[in-house]
């Protein structure tokens, strides 16, 4: 559904020297610096997938979305959305996609939300049945009627984002690109947005590509993850696989008899080289160990051998930890799953 092949976008940025003298000198001689915003990335997302596009600030997420939505033309390489090169056939592509730019409003600034929706209905020639069904859904989930006849410019950020999200789905697009869609939304509305997109995905097979800095959004909405770092794809596959790439695992346990918690922790560290053991506020012992040098079998075997365990669980590595590790270069660039 969405394919990128060696997609590259360079920007030429005029260098400014600091200070007044520097500013004056740029009048005469101007130096340009080329910034590789997106550096030859390739990926393929299947129809009906819900993918989080993850990367640190400046990783080229927005630039990629602008190429996929047909706003910008790549410097080299190409991308296909629904079999169409978006920047070559912008209008054709635009019919099939829905977009939210968290930073820019796509509603009519001086009009009310219902007026904006009526305009969108005309632009996309949305059939009555689809329009009514979607409005009913937005009434139910997003409480869109509460926005009333207030001009968009007078809405709060959260109210506006609700309308933006609804507007991006109004014409039943095949693909939605959401760039930071949940900024300004409270917990209840975030839930509603997740519900909305999951329904569209389940009922219409809508493909979703989402960028967000809110990792709980990503976890709730997406199944797949595309992680870009330094302009390159460092992970393409499911979110679960991404979590599996954590270089450290943990086990938390409780035991009966034997040494006190502190001594037990020291004993674990001594017996399992490379592992760290800490006592949690509840008096349990948490063991963190490198997945590369110790297997789960070794760790659990050691614990079962030494202690009379009363409770034991292994918390899943969290997304934040994995991402921090990737951004710091802890995980080598590798590709899982269906690469292009």
Partner 1 sequence: MRRPDLRPGGYLPFATSGLQSLLQYRSTFLITGITAAAGAAVTVFLWRAVYADGSGPGPGGFTPASITTYLVVAQVLAVVHTNRVDDEVAAEVYRGDIAVTLVRPLSYPLVRFAACLPVIGANAVLVGVPLLVLFAALVPLTAPRPVDVLLFLPSAALSVLIAFCVNLLTGMAGFVTTNTWGVRMAKQGVVAFFAGQMVPLALLPGPLHALAMVLPFRAMADGPLTLLLGRYEGTAGAAAVLGHQLAWGAGLVLLCAALWRAAVSRLEVLGG
Q: Provide the binding-site residues for partner 1, judged by CB under 8 A.
A: 11, 62, 66, 69-73, 87-92, 94-95, 97, 99, 101-106, 108-111, 115, 118-119, 122-125, 151, 179
What tokens were used for 147? 């926005």
Who's near 254: CB < 8 A, 6+ residues apart? 283, 284, 285, 309, 310, 311, 312
Strand order in the sheet with 50-54: 97-101, 175-179, 207-211, 50-54, 224-229, 232-238
- Judged by CB, which is closer to partner 1: 1, or 97? 97
Which residue is it, tokens 């969108």?
Answer: 120
In the bound complex, what is the minimum distance in angstroms from residue 275's beta carbon to partner 1?
44
- Judged by CB, which is closer to partner 1: 86, or 317? 86
What tokens were used for 333? 């660039």
In the bound complex, what is the minimum distance in angstroms from residue 159's beta carbon to partner 1?
18
In the bound complex, what is the minimum distance in angstroms from residue 62's beta carbon to partner 1?
7
- Alpha-carbon gap, residue 45 to 207, rounded angstroms: 9
- Judged by CB, which is closer to partner 1: 119, or 309? 119
- Judged by CB, which is closer to partner 1: 92, or 223? 92
In the bound complex, what is the minimum distance in angstroms from residue 173's beta carbon to partner 1?
10
In the bound complex, what is the minimum distance in angstroms from residue 118's beta carbon to partner 1?
7
What tokens were used for 138? 């937005």
- Alpha-carbon gap, residue 174 to 124, rounded angstroms: 13
In the bound complex, what is the minimum distance in angstroms from residue 309's beta carbon to partner 1?
52
- Judged by CB, which is closer to partner 1: 58, or 273? 58
- Alpha-carbon gap, residue 101 to 85, rounded angstroms: 20
Tell me whether residue 91 is exposed, middle or buried, using C-beta atoms within 10 angstroms of its C-beta: 0 to 12, 13 to 18, 19 or more. exposed
- Judged by CB, which is closer to partner 1: 104, or 297? 104
Residue 6: C-alpha distances to residues 38, 40, 232 (Å): 9, 4, 10
In the bound complex, what is the minimum distance in angstroms from residue 265's beta carbon to partner 1?
48
Which residue is it, tokens 């008899």?
Answer: 257
Helix (H) or strand (E) holding 24: helix 19-28
- Judged by CB, which is closer to partner 1: 80, or 94? 94
Strand-strand pairing, 248-256 and 308-313: antiparallel
* Residues 233, 61 contacting (CB under 8 angstroms): no
- Alpha-carbon gap, residue 82 to 176, rounded angstroms: 12
In the bound complex, what is the minimum distance in angstroms from residue 102's beta carbon to partner 1?
8
- Judged by CB, which is closer to partner 1: 98, or 237? 98
């Amino acid at each position: 559904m969405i394919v990128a092949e060696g997609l590259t976008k360079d920007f030429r940025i005029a260098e400014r020297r600091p200070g007044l003298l520097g500013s004056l000198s740029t009048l005469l001689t101007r130096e340009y610096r080329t910034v590789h915003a997106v550096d030859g990335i390739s990926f393929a997302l299947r129809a009906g997938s819900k993918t989080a596009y993850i990367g640190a600030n400046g990783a080229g997420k927005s630039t990629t979305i602008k190429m996929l939505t047909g706003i910008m033309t790549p410097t080299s390489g190409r991308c296909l959305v629904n079999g169409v090169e978006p920047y070559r056939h912008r209008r054709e592509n635009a019919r099939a996609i829905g977009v939210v730019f968290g930073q820019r409003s796509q509603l009519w600034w001086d009009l009310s939300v219902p007026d904006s929706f009526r305009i969108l209905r005309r632009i996309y020639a949305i059939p009555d049945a689809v329009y009514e069904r979607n409005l009913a859904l937005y009434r139910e989930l997003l409480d869109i009627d509460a926005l009333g006849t207030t001009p968009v410019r007078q809405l709060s950020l959260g109210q506006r984002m609700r309308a933006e999200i609804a507007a991006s789905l109004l014409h039943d697009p095949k693909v939605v690109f959401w760039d930071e869609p949940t900024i300004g939304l409270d917990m209840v509305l975030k839930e509603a947005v997740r519900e909305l997109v999951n329904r569209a995905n389940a009922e219409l097979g809508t493909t979703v590509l989402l960028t967000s800095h809110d990792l709980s959004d990503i976890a709730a909405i997406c199944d797949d993850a595309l992680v870009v770092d330094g302009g390159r794809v460092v992970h393409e596959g499911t979110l679960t696989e991404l979590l599996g790439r954590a270089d450290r695992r943990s086990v938390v346990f409780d035991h009966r008899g034997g040494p006190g918690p502190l001594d037990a922790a020291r004993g674990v560290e001594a017996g399992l080289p490379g592992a760290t053991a800490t006592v949690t506020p509840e008096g349990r012992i948490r063991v963190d160990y490198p997945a590369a040098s110790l297997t789960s079998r070794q760790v659990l075997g050691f614990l079962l051998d030494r202690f009379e365990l009363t409770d034991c669980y292994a918390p899943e590595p969290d997304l934040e930890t994995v991402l921090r590790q990737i951004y710091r270069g802890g995980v080598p660039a590798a590709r899982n799953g269906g690469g292009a």
